[in-house]
C-alpha cells in the first residue's frame, strides 16, 4: 500500500533536509556552503524541477530533475540528478509517486526521454529503476579531478 504523501516544489527552508539527505546518500559530509549556493541557484532555474515529498509534517524524500536541449536527441531530455527516500519510508511508494510527477512533467513539456544514473556501488538501484520503468541502455564513463 502506498503511503499518502504531499509532493511540492522544494523551497529555501528545505535546504537542511536536502543537505543531510545528500550527505547520507553520498556517505560523506559535503561542503555545506558550496552546496547551499548550488541549491539556491538550482531551485530557481526554470529548466529544473525540484520536488519534495512529505507525509503529514515529515519530509520523507525528494527528487531533482534537470532538462536540456540535446542535439543528438533533437530536443529536450531530462535527467534525474538526485533521488532520495528516507530509509524508513523506502518500499512504501514514495519514490514511485515522485517519479510519476517527473514523468508527468516530461509529458507536459514533450521531453524525448528521461534518464537516470546510479553509482555502481548502489547495485540495488538497478532493480529499483527497472521496476519504475527505466531500461538499462547506456554506459557512463567518468574522469574525476
Report the pLDDT value the prediction gives residue 64, as an integer from 0 to 100. Answer: 97
Burial (CB count <10 Å: 0-12, 13-18, 19+), residue 64: buried
* pLDDT (0 to 100) of residue 122: 67
Look up cell 546510479; give the residue: 118
Which residue's C-alpha cell is 527516500?
Answer: 85
Mean pLDDT of 62-86: 92
CA 39 to each of CA 31, 102, 116: distance values in angstroms, whole numbers, following the listed order: 12, 19, 19
Are 132 and 96 contacting, i.e. CB atoms less than 8 angstroms apart?
yes
For residue 131, name the pLDDT band (cuts at 50, 70, 90): confident
Q: Which domains does the chain possess?
A: 6-131 (3.40.630.30)
What is the per-residue pLDDT across 33-55, written as a single tens digit (0 to 9) for each? 999 999 999 999 999 999 999 99
What confidence tier does 123 reach under pLDDT thresholds 50, 70, 90? low
Amino acid at each position: 500500500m502506498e503511503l499518502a504523501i504531499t509532493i511540492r516544489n522544494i523551497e529555501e527552508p528545505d535546504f537542511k533536509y536536502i543537505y543531510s539527505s545528500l550527505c547520507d546518500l553520498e556517505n560523506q559530509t559535503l561542503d555545506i556552503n558550496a552546496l547551499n549556493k548550488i541549491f539556491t541557484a538550482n531551485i530557481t532555474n526554470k529548466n529544473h524541477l525540484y520536488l519534495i515529498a512529505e507525509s503529514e509534517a515529515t519530509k520523507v524524500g525528494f527528487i531533482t530533475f534537470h532538462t536540456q536541449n540535446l542535439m543528438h536527441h533533437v530536443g529536450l531530455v531530462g535527467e534525474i540528478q538526485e533521488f532520495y527516500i528516507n530509509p524508513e519510508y523506502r518500499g512504501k511508494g514514495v519514490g514511485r509517486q515522485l517519479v510519476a510527477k517527473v514523468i508527468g512533467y516530461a509529458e507536459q513539456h514533450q521531453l524525448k526521454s528521461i534518464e537516470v544514473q546510479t553509482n555502481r556501488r548502489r547495485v540495488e538501484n538497478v532493480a529499483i529503476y527497472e521496476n519504475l520503468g527505466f531500461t538499462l541502455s547506456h554506459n557512463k564513463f567518468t574522469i574525476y579531478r
